[in-house]
Amino acid sequence: MRRIFLWLAGNAWLRERFPRLPLAQRAVGRFMPREHHEAAQRASTDFQRQGISVLLTRLGENLTHIQEADAVAAEYQRLIDGAAARSLDAQVSVKLTQLGFDLDQERTFQHVSELATRAATHGQSVWIDMESSPYTESTIAFYERLTAAHPNTGICLQAYLHRTAADIQRLLPLSPAIRLVKGAYAEPATIAWQAKREVDASYAGLVVSMLEAKKQGTDIRIGLGTHDVALIEQLDGQARAIGLPRTSFEVQMLYGIRVDQQVRLAREGYLVRDLVAYGEAWYPWYLRRLAERPANVLFVLRQMLPW
């Protein structure tokens, strides 16, 4: 089922046609508060009332013209300022390809640097999303350069890639912020774990390595990008076993997924941040979310039915 959804995410014909269907609009409401940043910020306010911070992202990926990147960067500037005006604990997460990475890497670096500077004035951070494996090395190199000048930046790494343990060790001297996710692209077995149990084991081992580094004095911010509550609680136990508090990491979940657990975890003293996505380019992102957690499919089918 995971492979099917990843194939659907990459299908250009469906990407153009499926979002136009009324049933698609009903289904996507499960994962995002519609397509405008105002709706995302209203949702963020609701989360903050429950003790949950937010991570805002405007959906979109590779561009055709570099001028599109300028418009995306301006949108993120407005998003940062708007969140500050609402007194939200809101960080933003960007895709480098959405800011022109394929077209002009220096211009992309300028855009992200300016976003980090703007976020810093409000005491907030900017995160870089990780994309498919052809971008892994260049994204990490970009982050190494960025965080040297802007320590309020973070990067997403993927637990299913074989290389990620070495990447974490590479980044530790930089006092990084690392959000670890399991991974949502169709990667070959030569570079990525395929079985769920293998990915879960990799995820747990990578988090433990970061917690141990933190215990030894490394300045690292850790984000757990997973909806696996049992795994989160297991890792909390690992942290406590080596003398670290529950606040040594932040739980980062997606809008609309396990919200009851997000609220519960926040009440129990976990740091919780909800990733609120918005924008018109939702189709590939949406299908990858289903691929990550096929259990959501039944819920989505119920949303699509007219009764």
Q: What is the pTM of this model?
A: 0.85
Q: Mind listing the pLDDT tens digit for each residue in 152-170? A: 999 999 999 999 999 999 9
Residue 179 is a catalytic residue: yes
Q: 209-218 burial, b for 16+ CB within 10 Å, e for fewer?
A: ebbebbeeee
Is the pLDDT at 115 greater than 50? The verdict is: yes
143 neighbors 175 (Cβ within 8 angstroms):
no
pLDDT band (50, 70, 90) for residue 109: very high
Question: Does residue 55 carry a pLDDT above 80?
Answer: yes
Decide if domain 36-281 falls under CATH 3.40.50.970.
no
Q: Are 91 and 118 in contact (CB under 8 A)?
A: no
Residue 66 pLDDT > 60: yes
Among 12-26, 29-43, 187-201, the minimum mean pLDDT is found in 12-26
Catalytic residue among 30, 58, 118, 179: 179
User: Across residues 28-42, what is the average pLDDT?
Assistant: 69
- Per residue in 166-219, pLDDT (tens digit) is 999 999 999 999 999 999 788 999 999 999 899 999 999 999 999 999 999 999
What integer is the mean pLDDT of 225-236? 95
Task: Out of 129, 167, 200, 274, pick the active-site residue.
Answer: 129
Reference 112, options 100, 103, 124; nearest CA is: 100
- What per-residue confidence (pLDDT) applies to 282? 61
User: According to the model, what pLDDT value does residue 75 have?
Assistant: 92
304 pLDDT band (50/70/90 cuts)? Answer: very low
Under 8 Å between Cβ of 131 and 139? yes
What is the mean predicted confidence (pLDDT) over 144-150?
Answer: 98
Q: Which of 294, 281, 10, 283 is nearest to 132 (CA)?
A: 10
Whether 297 shows a pLDDT value over 60: the answer reads: no
- pLDDT confidence bin for 42, thresholds 50/70/90: confident
Q: Domain residues of the chain, as ranges?
A: 1-31+282-307, 36-281
CA distance linking residue 303 with residue 256, whole number of Å:
13
Provide the pLDDT for residue 168.
Answer: 98
pLDDT of residue 96: 96
Percentage of the residues of the chain whose pLDDT score is greater than 90: 68
